[in-house]
A and B are shown apart, each in its own frame.
Chain A
Amino acid sequence: MAEETRERVLSIRDLDISFDTSNGTMNAIRGVRLDLYKGETIAIVGESGSGKSVTAKAIMGIMAKNQHINGGSIMYSYTDDEGRKETLDITKMSEDEVRKTICGKHIAMVFQDPMTSLNPTITIGKQIMEGMVDHYHYSKEEARKKAIELLDDVGIVDPEKRFGQYPHQLSGGMRQRVVIAIALACNPDILICDEPTTALDVTIQAKILNLIKDLQKKKDLSVIYITHDLGVVAQVADYVAVMYAGRIVEKGSVDEIYYDPRHPYTWGLLSSMPDLSTNTPRLFAIPGNPINLLNQVKGDAFAARNPYALQLDFEKQPPMFNVGGKHRVASWLCHPKAPKVEMPHSLRVKIDNMLKEVNAYGKQ
C-alpha cells in the first residue's frame, strides 16, 4: 500500500510519562513515537515493565493518581456522528471527557488483568449489554441477542446459560473472552488488546485471533496487540514495535523484525523464544537486570546488558536510524560509520532455519 493513501487514525509523538513513587520520580515512558493506520495491526512487544500497558492506558485516557504526562501528544482522528472528520489530542483531555466521547465507541481496550475490568457483582451478560445500551441505544432485547451472539463468537459454549453467571463462576480464559466480547460490543474503530490471549489454550486463541481478523476485514478495524507471545505476533501483526525501558528501540514490518533484527535487545528477545525443538538444559535469558528508571538514563538504556555496546551507547541516547524499508533502530550500532557487528551465532542459525522452512513451503 502506498503511504499517502493510508489513513492515519492514531499518532503518538514524543510521549513522556512519569510516576511519583516513595523513592522519587520514575520516568516510565521516555519519548514514544508510533503511528497506527486504518485497518492495520501493530504489535507492541518488549520487556515486562517496559511501559507497554502504561502507553496503552494513556491512549484510553486512563491515568494513575501518581502519574504525570510531561510532554508529547496522542492525536486520534475519527469521523463523528455527523460525518465530520475530527482530530483530538487525548493527552489534553480529562479522563471523563475521554470516557464519554472516545472510550468504547471509538477506542476499546481489552485489559491485561481481566478480573480488574469486570465488575464482580454484575452478571457477565449485563456487562456486555451495558455499552450497547449506552452508546447505541439498543433495546434490551436487541442487546441481549447481540450479547449472546458475541459470547458464542468468542467460543463460549452454552452462551444462554453463561449469560446470567458472575465473573467468579467462570474460568480464567472465559473471563478473558468476556472482556473481549465487551470490547467488541461497541463496534470500535481501534481495538487495543493487552495480553488478550494469555489465558487461552491455543485452539481458542486461534479462534479469537481469526475473529478479530474477520472484523478487521469487514470494518477496517485497526488493532494494537500488546503481547509476550511472539508466535501470536508472527500470526497477526503487520508491524512490530519493540519496547525497552520506556522507549521503542526497534520497529518495522513483522518480516523485518523476525528475519533481520538489528537491536541487541531484540536479539536477546528472539533468542529467548522457546520452540518445540528446544531441549537445552537451561533456557537463554538476557543477562543482567532492567535499568532503574528512578535515575536519569544516559545513552541507550540497554547498554549495560549489551555485550556489543559501543562507548557511545553509554553516553548519548541513540536516534532512530533508518535501516531501509519501514525498519528503524535506536542503536549506535546502526550508525553508518559504526563497526560491523553480527547477531549471536545461535540466533543466526535459528533465523536461517526459519527462512529455510519458508523456502520449503514456497516450493510446495
Chain B
Amino acid sequence: MASSEILLEVKNLKQYFRTSRTYTVKAVDDISFNIFRGETYGLVGESGSGKSTTGRAIIRLYDPTGGSIRFRGHEIAGNLTKDEKADLRNNMQMIFQDPMSCLNARKKVIDIVGEGLDAHHAYSSKAERKEKIIRILEKVGLTEEQATRYPHQFSGGQRQRIGIARALVMQPELVIADECISALDVSIQAQVVNLMRDLQEEMGITYLFIAHDLSMVKYISDHIGVMHNGHIVESGTTEDIFSSPLHPYTQSLLSAIPEPNPEAAKYKKHVHYNAKEMGVDYTKGKLWDVSESHKLLATEEEYSKWCRKH
C-alpha cells in the first residue's frame, strides 16, 4: 500500500544532449513529479518522449542538466561522494529496456544475477548466494538448469527475465522498470506483475513503471504521468487519467489502445493529435491543478478550452 511519505521528488528536471554544435536534444525538459513510498508510478507517453532518459537521470547514469532529484529526502542530482553513489546503487535498481545491451555476454546467468549481491557482500556463504539467486530465477519463471547458461542462449523474453531477476534480487527501495514486461508472453507478464506486487506488499518496494501497454499500466499503477516531447503533459491518479483525460495527447493515446477483439477492432476510431498543427507549445504552458491529484500542462487559453467540457 502506498504511504503518504514521498520517496522520490523530481523538480524541474532537465536532461539535454548536445549531439552537434547546432543540435541539442532536450530529451527531458523541465518535469516535476513525486512518487510515494510503496506505490507504483506509471510513466507513459510517446516513443522518444524522454521516459528512459528520465529513469536513467534519476539513477544517475547521466548528470542532469538542471533541476533537483530528492531520494529519501536527500538531494541526488548534484555531485555525489563515493559513499552516496554506493548508497544509491544499493537502494535503487533499474531494469533496462534493451536486455541484451546490459547483460554481460561472457558471464553465466547465475553470476549476472549475483553481481549486485557480490558487490554488496549480501550473503554469508556460497550456498546462501546460490539459494538466493535460484529462488529469484524461479520466481521469474526460469529454472536452475538455465542458471549455468550464457545470455545468447536465451529467447528474448527469457533475457528480459534475467534483467528483472538481477534487479529484484537486491530488494531495493526503488525499482525503475523500463519496459520490463513488453517482451514477455501474457502469461509470464502476469506472473512477473504478480511477483512485483507481492514484493511490493512484502517489502514495500516502490516502482517507477515505464511501459507502453496501457492495460497493464492501468492495472498496476497508483499514479500516472503522461509524457510527450520531453514534458509531462498530464498527471494524476490512474482514475484521473483513464476516466477524465483532459490533454488532447492523453486522449489520443488512450484512443489508440489496440482492441483485443478482432471484429470490434475494425470499428475503432483513433483521435488524431499533432501539437504543431494545434499550435500547442509546451514551453509556454504552466502546470495547473485540476484537482488535488490531477495536473495539466497548458496555457491559460488551452486550460479553459480543455477543461470546459468537464
Q: Which A residues lie at the B interface, using CB under 8 A? A: 19, 21-23, 45-49, 52-53, 64, 112-116, 155, 157, 161, 165, 169-174, 176-177, 194-195, 198-206, 228-232, 234-235, 237, 254-255, 258, 268-269, 272-276, 278-279, 282-286, 289-290, 292, 294, 354, 357-358, 361, 364
Contact = CB atoms under 8 A, between A and B. Distances in A.
A273 B213 CA distance: 11
Contacts of A361: 263-264, 267
Contacts of B197: 282
B186 A269 contact: yes
A112 B183 contact: yes
Given A203-B256, A255-B262, A272-B185, 18 more contacts: A48-B156, A48-B183, A49-B157, A116-B100, A161-B23, A169-B25, A171-B47, A171-B49, A228-B184, A230-B186, A258-B260, A269-B185, A273-B260, A276-B242, A278-B219, A289-B143, A354-B261, A358-B261
Interface residues of B, number: 68
Interface in B188-231: 188-191, 193-194, 197, 212-216, 218-219
A48 B48 CA distance: 27
A57 B235 CA distance: 42
B183 A195 contact: yes
B179 interface: yes
A172 B260 contact: no
Contact of B155 (A53, A206, A286, A357): A53
B168 to A, nearest CB: 17
Interface stretch (B34-42, B123-131, B145-153, B286-294): B145-153
A236 B156 CA distance: 22
14 contacts: A45-B185, A47-B188, A49-B154, A177-B47, A195-B182, A201-B44, A201-B253, A202-B212, A202-B257, A205-B256, A205-B258, A231-B260, A274-B190, A284-B187
Contacts of A19: 153
Contacts of A282: 194, 197
A168 to B, nearest CB: 9
A204 B46 contact: yes
Contacts of B267: 361, 364
B305 interface: no
A283 B183 contact: no
B219 A201 contact: no
B243 to A, nearest CB: 11
B172 interface: no
Interface string B228-265: 00000000000000100000000011001111111111
A274 B215 contact: yes
A234 B259 contact: yes
Given A203-B252, A292-B145, A235 B259 contact: yes
A171 B51 CA distance: 9
A33 B34 CA distance: 52
B218 A276 contact: yes
B270 A203 contact: yes
Contacts of B153: 19, 21
A172 B179 contact: yes
A169 B194 CA distance: 34
B52 interface: yes
Contact of A47 (B143, B179, B187): B187
